[in-house]
Structure 1
Amino acid sequence: MDIVITERLPYESTREYVYRCLKENIMNLRLFPGSALSEKDISVLLNVSRTPVREAFIQLESEYLLDILPQKGTRVSLLDVENVEESFFLRETVEKEVFYLAVKEFPSDKLFELQSNITLQELCVEEENYLKFFELDEALHRCIFEGCKKGRIWSLIQQISTHYNRVRMLNVAAKHDWPELLSQHKKLVQAIKEKNTSLGTSTVEKHLNKIRIDIKDLLVEFRHYFV
Structure 2
Amino acid sequence: MKFTSVDGQPKKSIGEFTYDTLKNKILTLELRPGQKISENEIARKLDVSRAPVRDSFVKLAQEKLLDIYPQSGTVVSLIQLDYVEEGRFVREHIERAIVKQACEVLSEDHLFQLESNLMMQELCEKKGNHSKLFELDNEFHKLLFYGCGKIRTWEMMEFMNSHFNRLRQLRVFSTLEWSEIIAQHKHIYELIKQKLPDQADQRMSDHLRLVFFEKDCLVARFPDYFKL
TM-score strictly above 0.5: yes
Alpha-carbon distance in 1 for matches of 2:209, 2:173 = 18
Letter in 2 for 1:144: L
1:202 CA displacement: 3.2
Letter in 1 for 2:192: I
Query: 2:221 aligned with 1:221, yes or no?
Result: yes
Letter in 2 for 1:83: Y
Secondary structure of 2:79's counterpart equals: coil
Q: Is contact 2:43-2:50 (8 Å) kept?
A: yes
Q: Is contact 1:18-1:56 (8 Å) kept?
A: yes
Number of residue pairs the alignment of both structures matches:
219
> Structure 2 regions of 5+ residues with no counterpart?
1-8
Deviations 1:39-64 (A, max 9, x none): 11111111111111111111111111
Q: Is contact 1:34-1:225 (8 Å) kept?
A: yes
Aligned to 1:86: 86
Alpha-carbon distance in 1 for matches of 2:145, 2:16 = 27
Aligned to 1:209: 209
User: 194-203 or 155-164: which moved more?
Assistant: 194-203
Q: Is contact 1:172-1:178 (8 Å) kept?
A: no
What are the within-5 Å matches in structure 2 for residues 95-134 of structure 1? 95-134=95-134
Aligned to 1:67: 67
Letter in 1 for 2:109: D
Alpha-carbon distance in 2 for matches of 1:39, 1:179 = 41
Q: Is contact 2:97-2:201 (8 Å) kept?
A: no
Aligned to 2:155: 155
Letter in 2 for 1:46: L
1:52–1:125 Cα change, 3 Å: same
Aligned to 2:194: 194
Secondary structure of 1:187's counterpart equals: helix
Alpha-carbon distance in 2 for matches of 1:73, 1:13 = 26
Alpha-carbon distance in 2 for matches of 1:21, 1:155 = 17
Letter in 1 for 2:22: L
Deviations 1:68-105 (A, max 9, x none): 11122001100000011111111111111111111233
Aligned to 2:48: 48
Alpha-carbon distance in 2 for matches of 1:105, 1:52 = 42
> Structure 1 regions of 5+ residues with no counterpart?
1-8
User: 79-88 or 191-200: which moved more?
Assistant: 191-200
Letter in 2 for 1:106: L
Letter in 2 for 1:159: F
Q: Is contact 1:39-1:50 (8 Å) kept?
A: yes
1:172 CA displacement: 3.7
Aligned to 1:24: 24
Alpha-carbon distance in 2 for matches of 1:188, 1:117 = 13
TM-score (normalised: structure 2): 0.91
1:134–1:116 Cα change, 3 Å: same
Secondary structure of 1:134's counterpart equals: helix
User: 192-201 or 40-49: which moved more?
Assistant: 192-201
What are the within-5 Å matches in structure 2 for residues 3-42 of structure 1? 11-42=11-42
Secondary structure of 1:200's counterpart equals: helix
1:198 CA displacement: 4.8
Secondary structure of 1:33's counterpart equals: coil
Residue identity over aligned pairs, in percent, reads: 39
1:118 CA displacement: 0.3
Letter in 2 for 1:184: Q
Secondary structure of 1:218's counterpart equals: helix
Letter in 2 for 1:215: K
